[in-house]
Amino acid sequence: MRITLDGQVLAVNGIAEKVFAAHCGDLGRVLLPLGHRRQVDEDLDDGLRRTVVVDYVTRTEELGRSGAVRWPTVPDPGFAGLATCPEAVSAARSPAADRA
């Protein structure tokens, strides 16, 4: 899936292969750009469409609402898991924290 800087979800190539790979990986749901609805209906056989649910999106906001995508969070620099990795702590700090 390609996403623009303003949050639009754009069409990509190889949709049938992507849905088949999801099926082989035991994924029951995929999110695709809305522009591929007709292609999915035409190119995928009924058996594959029954085993993999395809949801269509047009904007990134819809990805989070679908429940299928969890956006990563930036860890707190004080998180104990980063204490053993000074490089990670330095990278996670904001410039304001360095001046304090």
Token digits of residue 26: 């035991």
Q: Per the domain annotation, does 82 fall within a domain?
A: yes
Residue 50: its pLDDT value, please? 87
Separation in Å, CA 49 to CA 7, 28, 33, 61 = 27, 10, 16, 25
Domain-embedded: residue 99: no
**How far apart, in whole angstroms, are the C-alpha atoms of residue 92 and residue 79?**
10
Cα–Cα distance measured from residue 76 to residue 92, given in angstroms and rounded to the nearest whole number: 8
* Inside any domain, residue 83: yes
31 forms beta bridges with 55
CATH number of the domain within which 39 lies: 3.30.230.10
CA distance 52 to 37: 14
pLDDT digits (tens, 9 = 90+) for 16-63: 888 889 889 888 888 899 989 999 888 888 888 888 888 899 998 887
Q: Which pLDDT does position 85 carry in this prediction?
A: 52
Residue-range definition of the domain harbouring residue 12: 1-94
